[in-house]
Amino acid sequence: MKNIILGVLLEMPDPQRDNFVLNSNDYSLIKPFVESANKFGYKVVILYNNLTPNFVSQYSSSNLSFIRVTPYDNYNVYTNKFILVNEYLSIANPNKVLISDVTDVVFLKEGFFDFFNDEIIYSGVEPVNIGIQWLENNSRVIRGQNPEFDKWWDENKSKLPLLNAGLIGGNYQFIKQ
């Protein structure tokens, strides 16, 4: 099976940015991401909810495809990202995957997936622990639906580093666990 770089472009309020809703039909938002991926022949799939048919037609190529998705009303843009990614990947079943932000990521090397060790999940990391106020506030809904996760959160929020979910990659069979 193929390797996939998977991005998500949802027009939804962004709680991390005062509920700002971006205009996803602005190609300049994804141009550096798309052009750097094209430079190395990477296959990219972008999940979206509000692109126009003209946008999709104009920018689709052999290396770039767009898949329309429907976000869930009871989750924010970040939780929706991973629910929708999980749903798509369970059908696509790639070998290796990079789940990537599309508005602030560029690719600098050829053979990106060659660097992936099958038993490692690759992620960005931030210089703080997971217990930051923003994450605590925006995980309440999902923690409230899962008491085990809520207990884990309370035990670990001051101990574990905050990983940057803008980049998560690895062998799909390992990641989906």
What is the model's pLDDT at position 106?
94
Pairing relationship of beta strands 44-48 and 4-9 according to DSSP bridges: parallel
Regions of the chain short of the pLDDT cut 70: 1
What pLDDT is recorded for position 17?
85
The per-residue pLDDT for 168 is: 94
pLDDT score at 1: 55
Q: In terms of DSSP H, where are the helices of the chain?
A: 31-39, 53-59, 77-92, 133-138, 140-144, 147-156, 172-175
pLDDT digits (tens, 9 = 90+) for 4-42: 999 999 999 988 888 999 999 999 999 999 999 999 999
- Residue 134 has a pLDDT of 83
